[in-house]
Amino acid sequence: MIHQFIKGTTETTLVLLHGTGGTEQDLIPLARELSTEVNILTLRGDVLENGMSRFFRRHAEGVLDLEDLKKQTERFLTFLDEAAAKYGVARDKMIPLGYSNGANLIGSALYRDNAFKASLLFHPMVPDRSLTLPYLTGATVFISAGERDPICPKQETEELTSTLREAGADVELFYHGGGHELRMEEVEAARAWVVPLID
Ligand code: MLT
């Protein structure tokens, strides 16, 4: 997968996944707001939709291609194992951080595999309603969303949150008053949540 690794001074690595039309550079400033010391592994989706980079295909806005999502989720998890070995970082200290399309890939990984102890999902959707979550006790998830987000409606954020909680995950949910855009207030909430988890 197209990516960049930036070595920091911690054992923790933030794994960054951008939204539709983004690049691997987009979320680096946000990650640096969370920690100036953490390792960063940042990915660029190589599924192109009218020239826009994504991490998996979709049939229309909000209508995910579940077969491709499954394939790309497996590919993502394999890539992380390989990257951990290549860059000499601990796979179990990787904290993925995704926005929108990137958050949906991370959400999908949580459904298929108890893949991460901690994850940050900015404006995620329910990835695949046909799947049942594994037992997620010990996993912690930060979710942020916009109260009036037309792409990820509040009802869907609530559904994802309660589904994760029912599976045993500890979920912190933060809303801002706007739509699908990332706002500084959710970055600040994410920082307060993630800093104690970085080592
Ligand atoms: C997706 O396709 O993952 C969602 O519609 C979010 C997005 O617009 O990227």
Task: Kindly give the distance from the C-alpha atom of residue 63 to the centroid of ligand 1, in angstroms, as a whole number.
Answer: 8
Q: How far is the CA of 46 from the centre of ligand 1 (A)?
A: 14
- Going from the Cα of 85 to the center of ligand 1, the distance in angstroms, rounded, reads 30
Is 113 a known active-site residue? no
Residues with CB under 6 A from ligand 1: 19-20, 58, 61-62, 64, 100-101, 104, 125, 151
Among candidate residues 100, 108, 119, 144, the one labeled active-site is 100
**Each residue's pLDDT tens digit in the chain (199 positions)?**
999 999 999 999 999 999 999 999 999 999 999 999 999 999 999 999 999 999 999 999 889 999 999 999 999 999 999 999 999 999 999 999 999 999 999 999 999 877 999 999 999 999 999 999 999 999 999 999 999 999 999 999 999 999 999 999 999 999 999 999 999 999 999 999 999 999 9
Catalytic residue flag (residue 176): no
Nearest to 4 by CA among 38, 28, 31: 28
- What is the domain-level CATH number for residue 160? 3.40.50.1820
Question: Which of 18, 55, 58 for mutating ligand 1's site (highest number of atoms within 8 Å of CB)?
Answer: 58
Question: Which residues fall within 8 angstroms of residue 72, CB to CB, at 6 or more apart?
Answer: 47, 55, 56, 105
Range of the domain at 28: 2-197
Locate the DSSP E strands across 78-128.
Answer: 94-99, 118-122
pLDDT number for residue 113: 74
User: What is the value of pTM for the model shown?
Assistant: 0.97
Residue 130: active-site member: no
- Rounded Cα distance between 64 and 86, Å, is 31
CA of 191 to the centre of ligand 1 (A): 24
What is the reported pLDDT for 114?
A: 78
* Burial of 160: CB neighbours in 10 Å, binned 0-12, 13-18, 19+: buried
β-bridge mates for residue 39, sequence order? 13
End-to-end CA distance of the chain: give it in Å, rounded: 26
Q: What is the pLDDT of residue 49?
A: 96
Q: How many distinct structural domains can be found in the chain?
A: 1
